[in-house]
Chains A and B, each alone.
Chain A
Amino acid sequence: MHMLKIDNLHARVEGKEILKGLSLTVNPGEVHAIMGPNGAGKSTLGNVLSGREGYEVTEGTVSFGGQDLLALEPEERAAVGVFLAFQYPVEIPGVNNTYFLRAALNAQRKFRGEDELDSMRFLKLVREKLKIMQISDELLHRAVNEGFSGGEKKRNEIFQMAVLEPKLAILDETDSGLDIDALKQVAEGVNALRSPARSFLVVTHYQRLLDYIEPDFVHVLAGGRIVESGDKNLALKLEAEGYAWLADKHPHLRKADLAGEAA
């Protein structure tokens, strides 16, 4: 049984159609990388799946574990197991990181009809997950993302994922702005969370992240659709040759759709 099935998805942002018939199926335990030139709709996909306001679905369906994902509110999507790791995690001044995470976890548990965790049980859970992510205690006592370095913000995202234990994790350009050491740390965290029951959508512009998080499938998103799918070798080919070769194969794609260069 598939975990996520996107069928002919069309979505608009500020009146402009960005996704134009995207289809994708993800099974439990699979890691799918979504690559593509700038402006192809990579980030839009993550935002649409998470239910961000301003992203309007005009056509198509998204089924998540047999459930109509598009019918759910953003916070309900989180509760049924969708997690978005942000490209630019936002700061929330004055709100304690641990407090925030506990509120999130308990809101999700409440929605699912599970009992809420008291602070003792929550702290125990946090300690376990801290080991996986190698995050310092000190980070937990600070306000959400406030004054965090780029690497700390991204590690905090993965740490949140570890605690919330989603079924589907969408990593939106998690590698952007990270140096190689920080990138490795984040990838290690992600790898530790891979399991037969958890799937990943890794949205990235660069192949280098995939050296550390090895995907089962690689897709090219261009012109609002998946135009090419393959295994990790596809990513290597994109790295070596860029996107231009796809124009010969897919004459309907405009040059502008492939203008972004793979590094």
Chain B
Amino acid sequence: MNESENMTREVAAPVRDNAEVVEALNRRYEAGFVTDIESTSLPPGLNEDIVRQLSAIKGEPEWMTEWRLAAYRHWLTMPEPDWAKLDIGPIDYQSVSYYSAPKAGPKSLDEVDPKLLETYEKLGVPLHERAKLAGVAVDAVFDSVSVGTTFRKELAEAGVIFCSMSEAIREHGDLVRQYLGSVVPVGDNYFAALNSAVFSDGSFVFIPKGVRCPMELSTYFRINAMNTGQFERTLIVAEDDSHVSYLEGCTAPMRDENQLHAAVVELVALDRAQIKYSTVQNWYPGDENGVGGIYNFVTKRGDCRGVSSKISWTQVETGSAITWKYPSCVLRGDHSVGEFYSVALTHHRQQADTGTKMIHIGKGTKSKIVAKGISAGRSSNSYRGLVKIEKGADGARNYTQCDSLLIGKKCGAHTFPYMEVKNPGAIVEHEATTSKISDDQLFYCLSRGIGEEDAVSMIVDGFCKQVFRELPMEFAVEAKKLLEVSLEGAVG
């Protein structure tokens, strides 16, 4: 291979109409209820005072306030990005409220407003006893505040810290200070800078040396209040020889206006540590005419800092009006491994521009990318990925596979694989396919007695199998159900 090689490719494939399939896709959004809870919000708008007030409400130490202010000042100097293949109306950052919390501040799970627990029940969040049954430790973030973390005692016995970011800043300040912003620097991009200034909560996970986290960790995010943005910040640190699997799920009520979600997730894996991060994202996608919905602008990055460390991202993205995220791995440690498994489903007028970046720095580093895009309606679904092999990354390898499934003829699928290879010994492989649910496949199922809706979800499920296999068991079931709901609707 040449000293340096760049490649860009776009695949856009129109397909023949299939009226029934399109109808079958008329989705229902089942998480679209609003919870009537008294909440405290900061007035809309953003300035240094708001940042200070936010920090004060949360009782943060001085260094944190300064960190936020520095981020805010940096953000002011940055232009909004416009390079992604997205069609975005102007966002008025001054009309957003940057903090909203349920009024009665919860001290423990027992004090949590029953209405809130009801909300989680509707969402199927295994909080409380159900959590124990499911064996999942859950941190739930409602609007901006973490409302309860289950299983704390059990985790503490193992030496694992799993708490809200607010609490971590107060209780584990040194750890947070050491790692916060070390993977995604304050000025990394426009939305990361904004997040750094105004993030309200999120999760913090610390797995000490040699510990295998005894259970799956999980966070559920929900945006409830009107006109609020959600800016959560998640930091996971896995020390040498440790192991953790983490899952986040997201929903929001149906509203006509767009809501902003700009999260930052940082992962740090030290020597031989393994982090598996799974996302099931079901933010409100807007209605079929593209009114309302969440703007999901997220920066997720994992740093394989130690030798033979491994970070694996798995995501199932079905929601949001606009999704803009590229969970990435910086493969710094020799022989470290990065993986990205993704299913992104867009329908109606949803837009998704998602993919990953694999930055190979260490020797013998390996990465694997499997991206599955499903487009229906008038939606647009883009895979954008960067594989970068630095000069010193001897023996680096990457394998990329991008598959697109089109349903109907008005949707689009695009693939933008970028490669920068600076080491001549590296091996980079890329495969891409675009297919549609064929009339032949559908008729085959029908002729065996399987109804149209079931046939479509069966075919889609088969298409996603490679990714679902990577999800923790109970969430694989959830993801499958979510796709089924997304594909639910009247069959002609």
Contacts and interface: CB of A to CB of B under 8 A. Distances in A.
Interface of A: 50-54, 73-75, 77-79, 83-84, 86, 89-90, 92-95, 100-101, 103-105, 107-108, 111, 143, 160, 164
Given A52-B443, A53-B439, A53-B443, A92 B450 contact: no
Interface residues of B, number: 23
Interface stretch (B137-145, B168-176, B357-365, B451-459): B451-459
B9 interface: no
B23 interface: no
Contact of A94 (B440, B443, B451, B463): B463
A164 B449 contact: yes
A130 B404 CA distance: 36
B458 A78 contact: no
Nearest to A112: B449
A92 B465 CA distance: 12
B464 A94 contact: yes
Contacts of A53: 439, 443
Contacts, number: 79
Interface of B: 438-441, 443-452, 454, 458-459, 461-466
B444 A89 contact: yes
25 contacts: A50-B443, A54-B439, A75-B448, A75-B449, A75-B451, A75-B452, A84-B447, A89-B444, A90-B441, A92-B441, A92-B444, A92-B458, A92-B459, A92-B462, A93-B462, A93-B463, A94-B465, A95-B458, A95-B462, A100-B445, A100-B448, A100-B450, A104-B450, A107-B451, A107-B454
A139 B454 CA distance: 23
B466 A94 contact: yes
Given A103-B458, A107-B454, A143-B462, A50 B444 contact: no
Given A52-B443, A103-B454, A94 B448 contact: no
Given A52-B443, A92-B444, A95-B458, A103 B463 contact: no
Nearest to B435: A93
A93 B438 CA distance: 12
A78 B440 contact: no
Contacts of A108: 449
A53 B452 CA distance: 12
7 A-B pairs with the lowest CB-CB distances in the bound complex, closest first: A94-B462, A78-B449, A94-B465, A95-B462, A104-B448, A108-B449, A74-B446
Contacts of B443: 50, 52-53, 74
